[in-house]
Amino acid sequence: IIPRGISISLPEHVEGQVRPRSGLAAKHGITVLNTPGTIDSDYRGEIKVILINLGKEDFEINQNDRIAQIIFSEIVKAKFEEVEILDETKRGPRGFGSTDQ
């Protein structure tokens, strides 16, 4: 867990998503373990990043290194309704690997 030395205050309807940097992942095998890591709007602590090194070499991280990125997204509050039967679709219950088939 890498502390970043910053804290943020987000509006109630916004979350931060901590994601890997593609260059670190591609070149060194360094990625965010719980991607995306969520920063809730009511969190006021220091931002920390859970990193894992999947590469073959040790990797040193310094204080100002850019090790992750944060994407801010509006939160959609979904309302769910329990039903006995779902409506039919062309795809039906086919799962992984069946998109566009």
Q: What is the 3-state secondary structure (H, E, C) of 68-87?
A: EEEEEEECCCCCCCCCCCCC
Residue 96 in tokens: 């992984």
Q: Which residues contact residue 39 at a Cβ distance below 8 angstroms, ignoring those fewer than 6 apart?
A: 8, 10, 15, 16, 17, 18, 47, 70
Q: Could you report the average pLDDT of every consecutive run of 10 residues in the chain (101 residues)? A: 96 97 97 97 97 97 95 95 92 78 63
The rounded distance, in Å, linking the Cα atoms of 54 and 29 is 5
pLDDT at 97: 76
pLDDT at 101: 63
pLDDT at 95: 81
Domains along the sequence of the chain with CATH: 2-74 (2.70.40.10)
